[in-house]
Amino acid sequence: MLVQQILRDKGGDSAGGDVVTITPDASVGDAAKVLSARRIGALVVSSEGTDVAGILSERDIVRAIGANGPGCLADPVTTLMTADIISATRDETVQSVLAKMTQGRFRHMPVMDNAKMVGLISIGDVVKAQLAELSMEKEALEGMIKGF
C-alpha cells in the first residue's frame, strides 16, 4: 500500500489536506489549546499552511513543562518544535514510512509534493493501513486454499 491511499482514506489528498497548522510566532500555550481542542497529538508549524517549518507534539510540550515549568507556555512554538523534519511522498510504501517512523522514534510525518505539504500521517494511520493490507492478504490466501 502507498501513502497516497492512506491520504485518500483520511480524506486529505489535496494541498495541505486537513492538516492542522500553527504559525511560527504562536505561543506554546496557544499550541496546547489547539491540540486539546482538536484532540490531536501534533501540529505542523507553518507560515503559509503548506510549508513545513517544524512539528510540535504534545510530548514536546509536556517535556518542556517538566523541565522548565509552566513559564515555557509563553515561548514561541519555534523554541520547542522539531525543525529537522523527515517527510514522506505520496508514492512511498507503508513499509518504508513505518521503518522511518520506527527508526526516528516519531509519530507524525508530513507528506510532501516537492516543497508543498499535501497531508500528515500518524503512526496510527500507518498501522491501520498495514493491518488492512494484512487482512486482505489473509482473506485472499484463505480463498485460494478453500478454492474460492
pLDDT of the residue at 148? 65
CA-to-CA distance for 127 and 138, rounded, in angstroms? 16
Helix 58-68 vs helix 28-38: crossing angle, to nearest 10: 140
Q: Is the distance from CB of 5 to CB of 126 less than 8 angstroms?
A: no
Domain residue ranges of the chain, discontinuous segments joined by +: 3-146
Mean pLDDT by 10 residues, the chain (148 residues): 90 64 97 96 94 96 96 97 96 94 94 93 91 83 81
pLDDT of the residue at 74? 97
- Looking at the structure, give the CATH architecture of the domain made up of residues 3-146: Roll (3.10)
pLDDT of the residue at 15? 47
pLDDT of the residue at 39? 94
Is the whole model's pTM more than 0.85, yes or no? no
pLDDT of the residue at 17? 57
